[in-house]
């Protein structure tokens, strides 16, 4: 079995565990879209595709196993341990860790490689595939009212749109963004 498939299976298994912080839904509605977007961007923009796909599958593993706080840091540690277990080269592990450490929207200035930029971009793009999940978070995790959730989701999507840097990214998610903005009028 190739390394990407091993990593994908590991992430899926972690999401299925009763200890998963958010259950199985993040696998279907976040990890899969991130990996799909990352693959499309890698095909278009270049970079080490295997490394990009591994980082896409592992970018939020810290949230699943430990929780959302500092998930980029805990995720990088978990990724290193798992990739060493799989016999992945340390030099590539270090690049995967950089992708995970720098995938969050608040860390735009730290991205040095195309791989880091693609993972951050794919993570941002996934929001447009999971608008119901953003509402779920607003209601359940944030305790917002319907009106508050409507406004916070609208703002979040607008911010995510502004965070996209690649022309290809905007081209891919533009239909979802425009449809969502129509619904919020």
Task: Give tens-digit pLDDT for 41-89.
Answer: 999 999 999 999 999 999 999 999 998 788 888 999 999 999 999 999 9
Cβ contact 48:88 at 8 Å: no
Q: How distant, in Å, are the alpha carbons of 57, 81, 172, 174 from that of 15?
A: 12, 18, 27, 29
Mean pLDDT of 143-155: 96
Region of poorest pLDDT, from 7-16, 97-106, 133-142: 97-106
User: What angle, rounded to 10 degrees, do the helices at 90-101 and 49-58 form?
Assistant: 50
Closest CA to 141 of 26, 31, 9, 1: 26
180: pLDDT strictly greater than 80: yes
Task: Give tens-digit pLDDT for 21-33.
Answer: 788 999 999 999 9
Report, at the CATH architecture level, how domain 3-183 is classified: Orthogonal Bundle (1.10)
pTM: predicted TM-score of the whole model, two decimal places: 0.93
Cα 94 from Cα 76, distance rounded (Å): 9
């Amino acid at each position: 079995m190739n390394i990407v498939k091993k990593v994908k299976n590991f992430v899926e298994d972690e999401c299925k565990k009763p200890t998963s912080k958010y259950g199985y839904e993040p696998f279907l509605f976040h990890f899969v879209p991130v990996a799909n977007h990352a693959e499309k961007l890698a095909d278009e923009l270049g970079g080490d595709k295997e490394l990009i796909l591994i980082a896409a599958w592992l970018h939020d593993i810290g949230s699943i196993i430990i929780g959302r706080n500092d998930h980029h840091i805990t995720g990088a540690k978990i990724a290193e341990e798992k990739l060493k277990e799989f016999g992945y080269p340390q030099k590539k592990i270090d690049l995967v860790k950089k992708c995970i450490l720098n995938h969050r929207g608040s860390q735009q200035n730290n991205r040095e490689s195309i791989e880091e930029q693609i993972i951050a971009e794919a993570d941002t793009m996934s929001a447009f595939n999971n608008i119901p999940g953003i509402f779920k978070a607003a209601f359940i995790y944030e305790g917002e009212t319907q009106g508050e959730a409507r406004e916070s989701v609208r703002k979040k999507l607008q911010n995510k749109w502004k965070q996209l840097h690649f022309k290809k990214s905007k081209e891919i998610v533009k239909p979802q963004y425009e449809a969502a903005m129509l619904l919020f009028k």
